[in-house]
Structure 1
């Protein structure tokens, strides 16, 4: 054991569960956009709001890592991180650039549902999905094993707490429902267990219903 590092490893499966949610929703997003009819602004508003929600949650996820995880790893095991720092930075930069392009186009498409904008938005989402999956898989394979033996349980929980703190109260059931849909029940229980008591009691009671309602509106099915 390296001096100053925790004596035990921690369970980082919560991150995998969140990644699974991102995998699914961003895989489905281009098709949802392409299914919007020409000039169907009513449908475009629903889908555009869904995209805004997804990209905001993804942004908060990355900010939390940048602020609370990377600095600790760089300070404690810089030699282990050296081979992957530039890879992760390049991937974050590519994902960030695509998110910026999507967010610049999304309001215009939301208002007009022009076919040309539909095609361009779907294309950007296709590119985003490829880049995002590459990043998430690299993170799971190369970064999480290092984090598991480098940060403490309390520090890891702080990362999750920061993510919850950035959500609006009305968004919490939906985010949990999205994770819960394909998530390991044990892992989902751990995620809920690390939230404040009021959230721990209320949110799980609403999460499945929130996801079902949202999925029906966006995907046309409760089981996307």
Structure 2
């Protein structure tokens, strides 16, 4: 017997909350990290620039995955009155992408010079980016994820996640997992590895915690930012 839309189980979209927690935390702290770079200290600037490159790439890939794989599904399936919500998500992505482009222009200059004017301008752009990003993440969680939970199948949702994982640089996967598990829901984080072999489920969280502690200490001065 087939399951009607009214009785079909909701898709578990909680992994999105884990990713959003990572983005909120690190972009909230980013402006202060940049302002802490001493004038002319290119060694410290390089550490911070590497961190910002990682954050920028992670956020860009996250939004690209949604733009390419999630929004088209929703626009095909949701009623016309809900389509403007998806359009809102797309317009917010454009605003965030515009600010990310400014960050990408300033980071190489910070890396090369650690000049105070570049540092302060970059920190201001990051603060503005954080405001727009949080506005978008809040709207996505409150308005979009409930629609996705009843519109996209679990298999489709999982496939979107697998695509995103495949796009991530291999050299950064342990750090990315450590970022997610630091303050993410432990049940959801464990579920991200549920289909992996047992040795992988044992090893990856340990590598992730180690990579996160090392990275956070270098960037934030503490393993518990």
Q: Name 1:40's counterpart in structure 2.
A: 41
The corresponding residue for 2:21 is 20
Count of aligned residue pairs for this structure pair: 223
Relative to structure 1, the CA distance from residue 146 to residue 194 in structure 2 (aligned partners, 3 Å threshold; closer, same or farther) is farther
Q: Which residue of 1 aligns with 2:101?
A: 100
Q: CA RMSD in A?
A: 1.9
Shift in Å, 1:194: 4.7
Structure 1 residues 59, 173: closer, same or farther in 2, change over 3 A?
same
Distance 2:27 2:70 in 1: 24
> Paired residue for 1:90?
91
Question: Which residue of structure 2 lines up, in the alignment, with residue 160 of structure 1?
Answer: 161
Of the structure 1 ranges 56-65 and 188-197, higher mean CA displacement relative to structure 2 is found in 188-197
Structure 2 CA distance for partners of 1:12 and 1:159, relative to 1, 3 Å: same
Measure the CA separation in 1 of the matches of 2:143 and 2:156.
19
Matched, 1:211 2:184: no
* 1:208 positional shift: 0.4
Aligned 8 A contact 1:102 1:121 in 2:
yes
5+ unaligned residues in a row in structure 1: which ranges?
none
Q: Distance in 1 between matches of 2:35 and 2:118?
A: 10
Q: TM-score if structure 1 supplies the norm length? A: 0.94
CA distance in 2 between partners of 1:6 and 1:165 (Å): 33
Contact 2:71–2:86 (8 Å) recurs in 1: no
Q: Give the secondary structure class of the aligned counterpart of 1:147.
A: helix
- Looking at structure 1, the residues matched to 126 and 44 of structure 2 have their Cα atoms a distance apart, in angstroms, of 18
Unaligned runs of 5+ in 2: none
How far does the alpha carbon of each residue in 1:78-116 deviate from its partner, in whole angstroms, 9 at most, with x for none?
424323133222211110000001101110111100000
Corresponding position: 1:72 with 2:61: no
Counterpart for residue 122 of structure 1? 123
TM-score, normalised on structure 2? 0.93
Q: Which residue of 2 aligns with 1:190?
A: 191
| Distance (Å, rounded) in 2 between the aligned partners of 1:39 and 1:6 | 62
